[in-house]
Structure 1
Amino acid sequence: MLVVGVLALAALAGWLYLALGHGGFWKTGPGLPPGADPSYWPEVVAVVPARDEAAVLPETLPTLLAQEYPGTFSVIVVDDGSGDGTADVATRLGDETNRLRVVEATERPPGWAGKVWAMSEGVQAAGAPEILLFTDADIAYAPGTVTGLVRAAIAGERDLVSQMATLNTGTRWERLIVPAFVYFFAQLYPFRRVARDGTRTAAAAGGCMLVRREALAHAGGLDAIKGALIDDVAFGRLVKRAGGRCRLDLSRDVTSRRPYPGLTDLWTMIARSAYDQLRYSPALLTGTIAALLLMYAVPPAASLAGLTGLATGTGNAALPAAAGLLAWTVMAATYTPMLRFYRLSPLRAPALPLVALMYAAMTIDSARRHRAGQGGTWKGRTAARGRP
């Protein structure tokens, strides 16, 4: 019981730090500031890398083409070697507007990740707009979103403004795993620290990244992250480490229409890049799993062990019971705002340790896949091992 109590105290100390001193990672607001309209509206070109996206484009591309932006706004869809008629679907959706161009990505050079190469091809086709908006093919935009992004960039003097899209929670597995996915991302990259100048914390959300073209060029361009599997985090680091000012928010105005109906779909989505996040390091993998067990498994385990000990008269049971319950409570409290953002019951919050254990298993499986030469597989491609 003494050892369990010490572990529970360590977990409690960790959760108190996360809740009080980790950049308010658990807060989901306030979103983009309203701000005043700028004196001019710069030209914006949206670049949409698309590989086998014919099914989802009819739900998303019209929302981008319909944006009522006060300045010049156009969209480039880069067909990245699709085999399902993606280019034809995009062309048909853009028939009634002069805002859309569809370009075919040329053969991907060695060392480039597929999506980053498609983004680069879009930049080449865009010419010289002041603002680039990188967005995924599965992302839908509420009216006025592009205007709000540009307004925030100009008013806040930001070089990069990124919005993490609201993900689907239509199925049982999505409701269980998706809010935790966003919660863990925010824990790794607290949004408020991303926005704070002078900090090392840097990230972006790949579904919506609005960047000043000159800032991207100053940072070295997409060539500098050409092999990135987790391209959005690499993109945020690239801009911020070059002195760029960044902003990252969670948004209801930007939504993903990509479904992950089953556990297998979600598992594959997470496992394909988790080990890349750990730089393919067995030491980091071991440390990460140990940290997950300490922070998420110990509190409920210590609570149950302590309460059982109190009921049976076991000595030293009060410490693990009290520390475990308090750590578990703080954990659930920090998760509740994310559940509310996704309009889910806060009663789900105490189950976060079970979801964290699933993420630990996905991370281990990600390492297994990389060792088997199957890491980073997505839409028929297997990314080369490496990290810029």
Structure 2
Amino acid sequence: MIVRQRVVLRWAVNAGTALAAASLVLTASNARRIRTPDVDALPVAEPLSVLIPMRDEAANAPGCLRTVLAAIDRWPGPARVVVVDDESTDDTAEIVALVAANDSRLSLISGTPPPAGWLGKSWACHQAAHHVPGDGVLVFVDADVRVSPFAFTATVAALRAAGLAVLCPYPRQRADGPAERLIQPLLQWSWMSTLPLGIAERSSRPSLSAANGQFLAVDAETYHRAGGHASVADEVLEDIALLRAIKSVGGLGGVGAGAHLAQCRMYHGHREIRDGYRKSLWSAFGSSAGAVGVVTMLVLAYIIPAVAALTGSRIGLLGYAAGVASRAISASVTGGRAWPDALAHPLSIAGFAALTADSLQAHRRDRLRWKGRALAGTTPREREVRRG
């Protein structure tokens, strides 16, 4: 029995190290290939509509609007900003209205409650998109994002030059507290280390899709042809679902390097991280079985080799080093903090595993809520039943 256990453990360490090494190779390849918009590029003049859903964003609204309005000053064609106040209970609407009163480029829409079958953000984005022209480019921006003065010109120039329908320059993810520094870098590392970006950008396969709704530029005609946010009304991860819908009608796209174009602090502290990931991780991998499978692979690749390294395993040390290197490369490309944070990569994976388990349990018990709204009826089977 002891001999068999040792064989199994040795196999796990070897397999995990091989996975970590393969992931490192892919991360390094993506670092060389990732699309990076040029801040000096200027697109041709066409309509630009910047659409911002806001729900209880009084703290973020002034900073977001200030940077967005400054960025459209550089736009060579007609530009407008539309904010949808999604039934805020704070002073969001009043703050936006005050800014709009002094800038005719900004419009405020009072959002209506989401109809049956819609989640809040998709409904807010849908309302915003139907208040702007159907041509040109739509740029969706979250309220906690701060864009640079050349964010829109550089992004759209890259979008048009590459012939893409969607481009999401990934904002630099601000992570200021211990929990944020442990978990947030996994956002960009996840796709840097698992998705061949060059292939994914040109592939119509839904499985090869990575997007970020924090800052998402899309060709307006393709967006509407794909059904817009109505096609992803009940999707928790509506950004990735939107890219897949656009791929289904022939459009292509994906993520790019955007640390020089925008920054975002999604969550403040461990409570917001727990609540934020609880609402979405259950759906990130298609099913509960998919989530368990992904977490198992992550543990195999990044925790087991690290534990083995502590016992003197050279193979385990190699696997741990590969994970740390992959994380450091991802940070260098996406504007994150590489050192010493990358050294804690196994702890990050353990935290992610715990968050995934918490999300699956909350979903099973129908306890998913976000910004005061229940996220009910969001399993694939429930969506199929609703659609008849």
TM-score (norm. length: structure 1)? 0.88
How far is 1:140 from its partner? 1.2
Q: 2 CA distance for matches of 1:378 and 1:69?
A: 35
Match of 2:63 among 59, 66, 69: 59
Equivalent residue pairs, number: 371
Query: Does the residue aligned with 1:78 lie in a helix, a strand or coil?
Result: strand
How far is 1:36 from its partner? 5.5
Task: Report what 1:236 is aligned to.
Answer: 243
Q: 2 CA distance for matches of 1:33 and 1:360?
A: 37
Task: Report what 1:335 is aligned to.
Answer: 327
Change (3 A) 1:41 1:330: same
1:6 and 2:6 aligned: no
Task: Report what 1:326 is aligned to.
Answer: 318
Change (3 A) 1:227 1:199: closer
Task: Report what 2:107 is aligned to.
Answer: 101
Change (3 A) 1:162 1:208: same
Contact 1:23–1:192 (Cα < 8 Å) also in 2: no
Q: 1 CA distance for matches of 2:39 and 2:145?
A: 22
CA RMSD of aligned residues (A): 2.3
How far is 1:235 from its partner? 1.3
The one-character-per-residue Cα deviations of 1:284-337 (angstroms, maximum 9, x if unpaired) are 2332232122112110122223x2xxxxxxxxxxxxx13211111111111112
Contact 2:54–2:92 (Cα < 8 Å) also in 1: yes
How far is 1:18 from its partner? 1.7
Match of 2:213 among 194, 206, 209: 206
Q: 2 CA distance for matches of 1:75 and 1:277?
A: 30
How far is 1:69 from its partner? 0.6
Contact 1:23–1:193 (Cα < 8 Å) also in 2: no
Contact 1:215–1:244 (Cα < 8 Å) also in 2: yes
Change (3 A) 1:15 1:337: same
Contact 1:165–1:256 (Cα < 8 Å) also in 2: yes
Which residue identity is paired with 1:145?
Answer: A
Task: Report what 1:317 is aligned to.
Answer: none
Which residue identity is paired with 2:149?
Answer: P
How far is 1:342 from its partner? 4.0
Q: 1 CA distance for matches of 2:268 and 2:33?
A: 25
Change (3 A) 1:353 1:15: same
Query: Does the residue aligned with 1:229 lie in a helix, a strand or coil?
Result: coil
Q: 2 CA distance for matches of 1:264 and 1:5?
A: 38
Q: 2 CA distance for matches of 1:271 and 1:27?
A: 33
Q: Equivalences for 1:1-388 in 2 at 5 Å?
A: 1-21=6-26, 24-25=29-30, 31-33=36-38, 37-38=42-43, 40-67=44-71, 68-200=74-206, 201-258=208-265, 260-279=267-286, 281-305=287-311, 307=312, 321-340=313-332, 341-342=334-335, 344-375=337-368, 377-384=369-376, 385-387=378-380
The one-character-per-residue Cα deviations of 1:349-369 (angstroms, maximum 9, x if unpaired) are 232011101100100000110
Change (3 A) 1:273 1:198: closer
How far is 1:222 from its partner? 1.8
Query: Does the residue aligned with 1:249 lie in a helix, a strand or coil?
Result: strand
Deviates more, 1:254-263 or 1:98-107: 254-263
Deviates more, 1:40-49 or 1:181-190: 181-190
Q: Name stretches of at least 5 consecutive residues in structure 2 with no aligned partner.
A: 1-5, 384-388
Q: 1 CA distance for matches of 2:25 and 2:338?
A: 24
Contact 2:164–2:251 (Cα < 8 Å) also in 1: yes
Q: 2 CA distance for matches of 1:110 and 1:223?
A: 12
How far is 1:45 from its partner? 0.8
Which residue identity is paired with 2:341?
Answer: R
Task: Report what 1:315 is aligned to.
Answer: none
How far is 1:131 from its partner? 1.3
Query: Does the residue aligned with 2:49 lie in a helix, a strand or coil?
Result: strand
Deviates more, 1:323-332 or 1:189-198: 189-198
How far is 1:26 from its partner? 5.9
Q: Which has the larger radius of gyration?
A: 1
Query: Does the residue aligned with 1:103 lie in a helix, a strand or coil?
Result: strand
The one-character-per-residue Cα deviations of 1:58-79 (angstroms, maximum 9, x if unpaired) are 1111111122211111000001
Q: 1 CA distance for matches of 2:180 and 2:325?
A: 21
Q: 2 CA distance for matches of 1:88 and 1:256?
A: 25
Change (3 A) 1:29 1:246: closer
Contact 1:174–1:260 (Cα < 8 Å) also in 2: yes
Q: Name stretches of at least 5 consecutive residues in structure 1 with no aligned partner.
A: 308-320
Change (3 A) 1:365 1:36: closer
Which residue identity is paired with 1:61?
Answer: L
The one-character-per-residue Cα deviations of 1:166-208 (angstroms, maximum 9, x if unpaired) are 1222223222222223212434545434323455411211011
Contact 1:19–1:334 (Cα < 8 Å) also in 2: yes
Q: 2 CA distance for matches of 1:243 and 1:27?
A: 26
Contact 2:167–2:254 (Cα < 8 Å) also in 1: yes
